[in-house]
Amino acid sequence: MTPLLHEVGPRDGLQAEREVLPLERKALWIEAAAAAGLDLVQVGSFVHPQKVPQLADTDRLFSLLAERGRIRPGVVLSALALNEKGLERALACKVGLLCLGVSASETHSRRNTGMSTGEAAGRILAIAADARREGVEVQLSVQSAFGCGYEGEVPEERVLALVERYLGEGHRRISLADTAGLATPDRVERLFSTLREQAPDVEFACHFHDHVGLGLVNCYAALKAGVRCFESAFAGLGGCPFTRLAAGNVATEDLSNLLARLGLRADLDLRGLTELAAEVAAHFGRQGGSLVRLAAAKAAPVP
């Protein structure tokens, strides 16, 4: 089973930055990520421009990428939506994979959507059904699946109940997101193993934030439990703006290096990914966030 890599830097990464990045630079970074061998790239999210101004140009970005035609064949362009209006915009942009999510934390759910977990789940499932009727592939996620920045521990029963609702509606692409970066490898392996036993035909994905340096270890634990799709961000950017403990994502270049060294993704252009991460980090003035990038910088010859 070949692991799939889902680059979420253009969405989850950029939404955490104060700067509104120029459209052309976004397009270049997305094209570079696709060219390096990544399987999916999350272009942006269809949310209200005043709520997340960094992603207000997602529609224009999809159009620009289609016009330029530089995305490597086979790469899926994904996007996030939160409501019915977001779905309309996603359909107009011919999104390859629509990502929708519900938080297992009541506090996080209300801060993020203004709704309880149950209310949000009902709305998201209705939107997902509409998307599938239009022929759009859907991935549903459980946010705060391993803990909440406000509530702390999130009972696994809540996570399992949400996944059960997804399965009951026929969904077979499901992601667990560690929104607050509180996951530990033992819990990751246990929870995913339980889900894999209950639904062996489902393609599970994982999304880890590196709050205390366990992100890459958690990815390995998920891999051991049979998870196939891994979400990460170039240069380790990211962090949910609606949670109390915001931390960057697992760095794509670090995750790619791990999978390559395990002999699972020899096709990836690690140099290209590291160069992209270095460009992204330099643009935002970041020093940390990626072990591979820092190692490459130390090894570079002095001019």
| Segments in the chain forming alpha helices (H) | 23-35, 58-68, 84-92, 106-113, 117-133, 156-168, 185-198, 215-224, 252-261, 270-284, 291-299
CA 147 to each of CA 95, 170, 176, 210, 221: distance values in angstroms, whole numbers, following the listed order: 30, 26, 11, 13, 17
219 part of the active site: no
Q: Is 251 helix (H, G, I), strand (E, B) or coil?
A: strand
- Give the whole-angstrom CA distance, residue 42 versus residue 33: 10
Active-site choice (99, 148, 206, 240): 240
Under DSSP, is residue 196 helix (H, G, I), strand (E, B) or coil? Answer: helix
**CA-closest candidate to residue 243, choices 213, 205, 291, 211:** 211
Positions marked active-site: 240
